[in-house]
Amino acid sequence: TVSVAVAAEDISAGARLEADMVRFTPV
């Protein structure tokens, strides 16, 4: 099992990625 990143919120094109925009989920 590994953890992969998913969007924690809707992210608009052109935004700069911040850590709180991402959460991890096991797959």
Partner 1 sequence: MVRTGELDGLIGMVVTRSISSGTLLSERDFVMLSSTVRAMSIPVDPEHAVGGALRPGDRVDVLQSADGIARYVLVGAEVLMVGDGTGGALGGAGRYAVTVALDAESALEVAAALSEGTLDLVRSTGSAPPSVLVYPPDA
Counting contacts by CB under 8 A, is residue 1 touching partner 1? no
Q: Return d(Cα 10, Cα 22) in angstroms, integer.
A: 10
CB of 20 to partner 1, least distance (A): 10
CB of 22 to partner 1, least distance (A): 6
Q: Return d(Cα 9, Cα 22) in angstroms, integer.
A: 8
Query: Per-residue string for binding with partner 1, 3-22, x by CB under 8 A?
Result: xxxxxxxxxxxxxxxxx--x
Phi-psi region of 14 (alpha: psi -120 to 50; beta: other; left: phi over 0): left
The site for partner 1 (CB under 8 A) is made up of 2-19, 22, 24, 27
